[in-house]
Amino acid sequence: MKASSTHHFTLALRVDALTDELEAKLFEAGCDDAALYQTGTAVFLEFDREAPSREEAIRSALLDVQEGAKVAVLRVLSNDLVNAAQIAERLGRSRESVRLLVQGERGPGGFPPPAHHVGERPLWSWGDVVEWLAANRLEDVQADEANGLIEAVNCALTLVRAEQRLSETSLRYVAGLLGERLRSAVTSSESKS
């Protein structure tokens, strides 16, 4: 059995304000390893949770908050989105080296497209970058084991919020798409076990 270690992560909560009642409800649900704070109108729950893996720590925290305390989570914050300077820092490379990889002027080409933009600044998914580096045998860097869970949970939470704005036809389409993909993923996972 894998030894437990402390995993640090933050949940953005879907609440109007930080109150004593909210704090008590979260504490009673098992979130005694988290700090509740508010920045502007946003309320966050920052965890230092003991678990065998970061994925298990996040999963158990989500259950405590959503099932135990009945508090909605907007998203799991992660350090997955990175700019070119952060990629360079994580890889121990120069910014110019990363720029050349991104532009396809060095390496095999096909650098992952940005996952997001803030203004004109591109941001990449660190998981996509690590996957590309490994596939091209350029670096031996490990992605955070919980990135897949965080990405899937955040997509699911976004879908739940968007559900009210989807037409019935669009909702059926998305449900069908998810159903097929999830059935396929579960079947594939079960056959590996």
pLDDT of 186 above 80: no
62 vs 156, which has greater pLDDT? 62
User: Quick one: DSSP state of residue 29?
Assistant: T
pLDDT of 190 above 90: no
Of the CA atoms within 13 Å of residue 114, those in its CB half-sphere come to 13
Residue 86 confidence (pLDDT):
94
User: What SS3 state is found at 36?
Assistant: strand
Domain ranges (residues) in the chain: 5-78+146-189, 81-135
Average pLDDT, the chain: 88
Q: Quote the pTM value.
A: 0.70
For the chain, give the number of residues. 193
State pLDDT tens for residues 111-126.
999 988 989 999 998 8
HEC sequence for 41-108: CEEEEEEEEEECCHHHHHHHHHHHHHHHCCCCEEEEECCCEECHHHHHHHHCCCHHHHHHHHHCCCCC
State pLDDT tens for residues 11-44.
999 999 999 999 999 999 999 999 999 999 999 9
pLDDT of 99 above 90: yes
pLDDT of 142 above 80: no
